[in-house]
Amino acid sequence: MRQAQTLLWKGQVDETLALFVNLRQKQAKNFCAYLQKHRHRIVNYAYYQAEGICSIGFGAVESAIKQIDRRIQISGAQWKADNVPQVLAHRTAYLNDLFSLKR
């Protein structure tokens, strides 16, 4: 349903659920249950795209993964598997301007 896709692109979960409220098919019920469970993860892509805040294409994601992969394979570098999640969390925070340097 094109209207549901348009609404979800704008992050409008309640409006999307309203489109399916009278449908009784199992697929519709499963879809509504999914939307209810994951509503906090559905963002307003239209806003982010209009503001130029981030790229939502797969190309940017794949590029970032390749950069991380190259850094992990640096000759002589040693990585502890236990530390990788923390390094990635710090990198994500840095890229999202979540670090505040107080002096």
Check whether 100 has a pLDDT greater than 60.
no
Residues 73, 44 within the same domain? no
**Does 36 map to a domain?**
yes
What per-residue confidence (pLDDT) applies to 59?
72
Evaluate whether residue 87 is within a structural domain: yes
Query: What is the tally of structural domains in the chain?
Result: 2
Q: What are 48-92's pLDDT values in tens digits?
A: 878 777 666 667 667 777 777 777 677 777 777 888 888 788 878
Would the pTM of this model clear 0.75, i.e. be above it? no
Reported as a pLDDT band with limits 50, 70 and 90, residue 45 is confident
The one-letter amino acid at 14: D
Instruction: Report the b/e string of 81-95 with b at 16+ CB within 10 A.
Output: eeeeeeeeeeeeeee
The verdict on residue 103 lying in a domain is: no
